[in-house]
């Protein structure tokens, strides 16, 4: 991720503050598998899932915990969909953090077969798509963070570029940080409350390919009663998947 370092003078000390961009996340692994779901599901079942579980002790342990504790699937989901959501939402492991870093920055690795998370990426994406078909409505959600973002983004199109957790309740979002917060209208995100390890967080999971328009940016400097230092308002504006079906296509080409 590209970021700016600002020098902030605090008495005799000099502090470096990271300012993160809000942009279209051009290096995102944003495959939405539109038109290749069956092929990718086959690859995950026969190739990627077992390989990735065996190659990572953390992933293996998290997956095994999910096999024991994940909710029995409904809503047209499979057991592996439910386990994947449990694994992602499990804050006791480092999976979600390492996975999201790889998704946000792993475009080249994804196309070079060096990505370590093909199975989890597909299962989460497929689960989100199935659930949004069942839920059939956009949702108003909130996200709290402990970091700073560029503020000069009103009117711009942005993506989170990774799988992004948000909550139907603002108070839950505030518990995760009140530095930079988001009021989000998502039409591609799915309510995963039933399958999350922490249903009380009322989580809506947003996929990396959803686009948003920044309709407002407010700060406490001008709005004293704001619920966070800076609040970004995002409205869903469609999808962008630069890597759509990149893995199944490459696999088919290699067969010829």
Catalytic residues: 143, 165, 203
Return phi, psi of residue 24, to 5°: -85, 10
Cα-Cα-Cα-Cα dihedral sign, residues 144, 150, 156, 158? negative
Instruction: Kindly give the interhelix angle for 79-89 and 95-105, rounded to the nearest 10 degrees.
Output: 100
Q: Is the dihedral of CA 88, 30, 104, 233 positive or negative?
A: negative
Q: What distance in Å separates the CA atoms of residue 124 and residue 102, rounded to the nearest whole number? A: 14
Residues 6 or more apart whose CB falls under 8 angstroms from that of 35 comprise 244, 245
Q: What dihedral do alpha carbons 79, 131, 247, 22 form, nearest 10°? A: -130
Cβ(44)–Cβ(123) under 8 Å? yes
- The span from the CA of 206 to the CA of 228, in Å, is 21
At how many degrees (to 10) do helices 118-135 and 79-89 cross? 110
């Amino acid at each position: 991720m590209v970021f700016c370092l600002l020098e902030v003078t605090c008495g005799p000390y000099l502090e470096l503050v990271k300012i993160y961009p809000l942009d279209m996340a051009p290096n995102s692994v944003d495959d939405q598998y539109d038109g290749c779901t069956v092929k990718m599901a086959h690859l995950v079942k026969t190739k990627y899932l077992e390989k990735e579980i065996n190659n990572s002790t953390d992933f293996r342990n998290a997956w095994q915990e999910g096999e024991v504790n994940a909710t029995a699937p409904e809503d047209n989901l499979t057991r592996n969909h439910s386990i994947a959501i449990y694994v992602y939402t499990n804050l006791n492991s480092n999976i979600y953090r390492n996975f999201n870093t790889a998704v946000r920055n792993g475009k080249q690795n994804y196309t070079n077969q060096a990505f370590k998370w093909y199975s989890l990426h597909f299962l989460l994406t497929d689960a989100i798509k199935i659930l949004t078909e069942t839920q059939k409505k956009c949702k108003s959600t909130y996200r709290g963070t402990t970091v700073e973002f560029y503020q000069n983004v009103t009117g711009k199109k942005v993506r989170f570029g990774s799988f992004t957790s948000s909550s139907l309740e603002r108070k839950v979002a505030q518990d995760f940080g009140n530095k930079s917060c988001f009021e989000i209208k998502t039409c591609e995100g799915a309510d995963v409350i039933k399958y999350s390890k922490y249903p009380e967080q009322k989580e809506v999971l947003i996929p990396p390919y959803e686009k948003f328009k920044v309709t407002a940016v407010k700060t406490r400097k001008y709005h004293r009663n704001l619920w966070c230092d800076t609040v970004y308002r995002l409205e869903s504006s469609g999808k962008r998947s630069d890597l759509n079906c990149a893995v199944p296509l490459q696999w088919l080409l290699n067969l010829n």
